[in-house]
A and B are shown apart, each in its own frame.
Chain A
Amino acid sequence: MTIIKTKLNRRSFLKVSALAGGGMVLSFSWLAGCQPSPEQEKLGLPDEWFELNSYIKIGDNGLVTLFSPNPEFGSNVKTSMPMILADELDMDWKKVIVEQADFFPERYERQFTGGSQGIRLGWNPLRTAGAAVKYLLVAAAAQTWEVPAEEISTSGGIIRHEGSGKKAHYGEMAALAATLEVPEEIKLLKEIKDFNIIGTSRKNVDGSKIVTGKPMFTMDYKKEGMLIAMIIHPPAFGMKLKSFEAESVKSMPGIKDVFSFKVHKEDYEQNAFDTTTHPELVAIVGNSTWEVLQAKRKLKADWEKSPEREFVMAGWGGNKSTVKVPAGLENTEKHKASMEAHSKRKARELRKDGNPAAAFSRAAKVLERTYTAPFLAHNCMEPVNCFAHVTADQAELYGPIQAPEFVSNTLSERLGLPKEKIHIKLARMGGGFGQRAYGHHMVEAAVISQKVGAPIKMIYTREDDMTYGIYRPTYTATYRAAIDEEGKLTAIHIKAGGIPETPIAPNRFPAGAVDNYLAEGWEIASNITIGAFRAPRSNFIASAEQSFLDELAEELGKDPIDFRLELLDRAKNNPVGNNNDYDPERYAGVLKLVREKSFWDSPRQGIHRGVSAYFCHNSYVAEILDLRMEDNKPVIENVIAAVDCGIVINPDAAANMGEGAIVDGIGNAFFGELPFNDGVPQKSNFNDYKMIRMSEAPRKIEVHFVKNDHDPTGLGEPLFPPVFAAISNALYKATGQRFYQQPFQPQLEMMEQEIKVGQS
């Protein structure tokens, strides 16, 4: 039993009597545990609700509403977070309703879904909130029945006192419980072995709404008098608006207004989630989507080259910096050339152990390989959009946003309204992957609504979305290994950079496992904007590192898993340097598990296997990918993943996330790429930006979880980074060629061509 200090979670315990202010609670959701008919739904509604804390509301009939604090973009937090509450509360999952909480910083600690941190950081607050409500209910029963609280037990939403045979459901004690104080310390957290909801698979609480097409996304939102808005942004990075002919479209059917606007005020200090690619946009507002789309296509606008510009960025802890946005129209060929040049120059030292220079000069052999990857677009299936209704004294927004906290400040400044007057509802998002951490679309929608004085829904077309920026950066990494006369690895040197950031995490593996180690980083400024993308930086550096270790293992004549385990053994027993930010034992654990589950030691005829492993977002993952060549094309038979992310809340949903991350990784490894010419993104829709489709997905995916009692850690991202090298390492086995440049498809096609020529 753990003692918890409720003071630490003060906000979770605030009882705010008015629920999030006028009409901010979203529509009634179905019961979480089953799919009731509309009849049951009606029967189940209580006459009165009692709010026990920010997360839990109990009806007089025993029905319980759990609020899911974090925005949902598909990682299933809307199911798994309430599962944690329900388990500590000893609630019957079948009698639970789940609702999406609005953005409400006074009530919730951290309403940010991203960085795979939702569950990790929600774990203790949610358990505490559940346990505290159970405490209050028991205390209320003890008072009512005049028996000691210690003699009372709870299960499935029922309170019992053995001695007197008394029993009541939670609803009967809720009124009294709501008047009691939460003590500063309670000793009620369950033992892990006593969990009966956590660790069991529960269906997505929104499953039936999704498959029946209920409105749940911002895209589906509608309000009386609402207009549709679209934007036009410059066609290229490095361009800005010169002029436009509003009159040319103003008289088109359904068009209400055409104007340009600045996303931020002149002297605004941006925060890190304010990425605004283009400071000025044109807006077209009208009655219906199709009418606005026609006008958007027809509007004549002129663009000009943008000079170098700069803005002030307010960083963490009050630090300010001036960010320069270079002028110029960039293109991919030049990017490649300048990255190559940078790779050869001296770079910033990020970590050094031992004497790498000496080790390299003494080396009998040096293995050096360079890896590259292009810019990637997020391509969430729901294009960027946002509903906004801004009036003289308040703003109401409904939008796909992973990080509402940051954008609420920005909105307040831009609209000139106090923060409490900005109400943000959290919509289900049609994908996030990092893109929805940035709230520019909410600011744009709000400014448009303020200007036209009406509720509006702003919609990006797919083309707007794909060409707006906030991309995964392009990267290059050069790995070098020194091998001595006895064939022993003596040093590793990594030099990696990108546009505009370096992907290196210098204290991660293989740091700590090699006597002489040097990590260096460099970066090149650009006007193409970037943002978080599923496992930022890790998604590239893992691919480079794990491909290199594969080649190095081969060079040293070792099995690739054994080689990694040897390094991890060294890091565990005799670590090099300080601050190694991984646990070598847990890292080795996933490699051992994947070796066992994949029958690595019994290879199969015609199946080419690649292994890869990575640690990020506090979780460890190892993957083995099996492929077979059919007509000189790779067909992925199976991907076997071993994951250590601590306690798994909802195993089947967790497996689903893992499968998705693997499919996503395969798609991006083979096809993902966004090139530029004169600042213009060369792909703008799914006809030219190739996404993975069903026939290219693996035939099978197995996700195995390490069973342990560690607190839960990230899951949405960690399965993504290792996939890339699992593929390149398997492709090497299949073709005899190493794959150093992402995406891999062009090299494969070239090989196929050569084989054809050779045969004819």
Chain B
Amino acid sequence: MAKINLNINGKTKEVDVDPNTPILWVLRDHLDLVGTKYGCGIAQCGACTVIMDGNAIRSCSTPVSSAEGAKITTIEGLSENGDHPVQKAWMEHDVPQCGYCQAGQVMSAVALLESNPNPSEEDIDNAMNGNICRCGTYLRIKKAIKTAANS
């Protein structure tokens, strides 16, 4: 066990956990931030995507010790009222089916648009290929990203 200081969604949090604990489980079990999802645990599905210092990372495979001093944004921290342009575009295109993968999809999309405000079709494919949607909402995700990029 070790005390670790985290900066999550602009707030400082201290947790006392095994430093090897993946960020995912610290968020979900210790900080009650359950928007970030578990899908595979091995960095293959993207359900657990959060943004750490501007990059989309797989929180299931990143130990919490490596987050000390970094800024983490989770789905809960994107906006106060669900009005981040990416969230709005997601609702406009009514993207989700079951919804389970969508927090991860939204976070990957936000990270993409932050580094590349006008992504091409291929840029979108590349950035989003790490996020599986079992319900097959890929076409709507793509449309929503384009809408968000234009807004």
Contacts and interface: CB of A to CB of B under 8 A. Distances in A.
Interface in B1-53: 1, 17-18, 21-22, 25, 28-30, 32-42, 44-45, 47
A462 interface: yes
Interface residues of A, number: 68
Contact of B34 (A213, A428, A664): A213
Contacts of A700: 139
A416 interface: no
A75 to B, nearest CB: 7
Nearest to B47: A381
Contacts of B117: none
Question: Among B75, B87, B98, which residue has the most Cβ atoms of chain A within 10 A?
Answer: B98
Contacts of A220: 28, 34
B39 A462 contact: yes
20 contacts: A35-B91, A204-B94, A207-B94, A211-B95, A211-B96, A212-B82, A213-B36, A288-B17, A288-B25, A288-B29, A289-B38, A290-B21, A290-B29, A381-B47, A383-B38, A431-B134, A431-B135, A462-B39, A685-B41, A695-B129
A693 interface: yes
A471 interface: no
B76 A213 contact: yes
B136 A35 contact: no
Given A213-B36, A220-B34, A462 B139 contact: no
Contacts of B129: 693-695
Given A37-B81, A663-B136, 11 more contacts: A74-B135, A213-B34, A213-B74, A215-B35, A228-B29, A253-B1, A380-B134, A431-B100, A459-B38, A462-B42, A660-B136
Given A212-B82, A219-B34, A76 B132 contact: no
A204 B99 CA distance: 10
Interface stretch (A98-106, A525-533, A651-659): A651-659
Classify the interface of chain A: helix, strand, loop or mixed. loop
A381 B97 CA distance: 11
Interface residues of B, number: 62
Interface of A: 35, 37-38, 72-76, 201, 203-204, 206-208, 210-217, 219-220, 222, 228, 253, 288-291, 379-383, 428-433, 459, 461-462, 652-653, 656-657, 659-664, 667, 685-687, 691-695, 697-698, 700-701
A657 B97 contact: yes
B136 A664 contact: yes
B147 interface: no
Given A207-B91, A656-B94, A692 B76 contact: no
Interface in B72-107: 74-76, 78-79, 81-82, 87, 90-91, 94-103, 106
A667 to B, nearest CB: 7
A383 B35 CA distance: 15
Nearest to A659: B139
B132 to A, nearest CB: 5
Which secondary structure characterizes the binding site on chain B?
Answer: loop
Contact of A667 (B35, B102, B136): B136
9 pairs of A and B residues whose beta carbons are closest in the complex: A213-B35, A430-B100, A663-B136, A74-B98, A213-B75, A74-B97, A660-B136, A686-B44, A210-B99
Contacts of B29: 228, 288-290
Contacts of B32: 222
Given A35-B91, A222-B32, A697-B139, A204 B96 contact: yes
B25 A289 contact: yes
Contacts of B96: 74, 204, 206-207, 210-211
Given A35-B82, A288-B25, A208 B138 contact: no
B47 to A, nearest CB: 6
Nearest to B1: A253
Nearest to A228: B29
Nearest to A73: B98
A292 B30 CA distance: 14
Given A663-B138, A693-B129, A211 B90 contact: yes
A698 B128 CA distance: 15
A291 B21 CA distance: 9
A726 to B, nearest CB: 15
Contacts of A461: 41
A188 B43 CA distance: 55
B124 interface: yes
Contacts of A664: 134-136
A208 B135 CA distance: 18
A459 B38 CA distance: 10
A502 B48 CA distance: 39
Contact of A203 (B75, B94, B139): B94
